[in-house]
Amino acid sequence: MTAAEALRGGQADGAALAGKVAIVTGGAGGLGRAMALALAEAGARVVVADLDARGGREVADLIDGAFRACDVSDLEANRALVDFAQEQYGGVDIALLNAGVATGCGVGDDFDPARYRRAMGANLDGVVYGTHAVLPALRARGGGAIVATSSLAGLAAVPLDPLYAANKHAVVGLARSLGPALAPDNVRFNAVCPGFAESRIIDPLRDMLSEQGLPVIPAEVVADTVLRIVTGDGAGECWFVQAGREPERFRFRTVPGPGKPAAV
């Protein structure tokens, strides 16, 4: 039984999502599509946002939702997306800030400023702008949930793609910091950190993953984990999703605080 099915049967923790309004960025395919379908199955009304208008409309039509073209790297586009959701459904309760792209360059001879800005714009600015834009709408509803899509690359070193690791680490830092900061407004901010999951980003890696015998995580597993986060009560959490393991909250080691040095 999926998390969405459990919700509809009243078997999962937290309230059912019937009547809730959700925004999913990057919703035209991969993880975003799976998230949109899972939310709709759980009873939510969903606004699918993506630059891929054809794919986004297909998903929206499939779930009887709404589509809005949106470049998440643009602040005004994020504000327009939230306005659209409010006009369509009267408010917003959930924001899944999922849009993301591969970096496509490093910091050495292959550095490309345009590719770098594109990746940072989608993977980090999209989360910051999306959060800023949706906060007033969530507060107007008395609170809500934001889940940002980070990656295992946000929890570990990635020597082969340091820039992707950098923007995904930034999303983890936002989640850990905004979780407690937004809690007084009853807004729960968390992150999901999938490994190699079914999405366009892994297309260039498929042969390598196959050769090394590394399984690709079904997008539905990530979507079900996101529903667990949305319907839970945590804030500032970063949930990893890895093949062969049960998804769970990553437990960060405590950083030493200020204090007197130990006696020698």
As annotated, the active-site residues are: 164
For 147, the 3-state DSSP assignment is strand
Q: Which residue has the tokens 């959700």?
A: 22
Rg (CA), the chain: 18
Q: 25-35 as b/e, with b when 16 or more CB fall inside 10 Å? A: bbbbbbbbbbb
Q: Which residues of 200-213 are buried (b: 16+ CB within 10 A; e: fewer)?
A: ebbeeeeeeeeeee
Residues 6+ apart with CB under 8 A from 105: 111, 112, 115, 116, 163
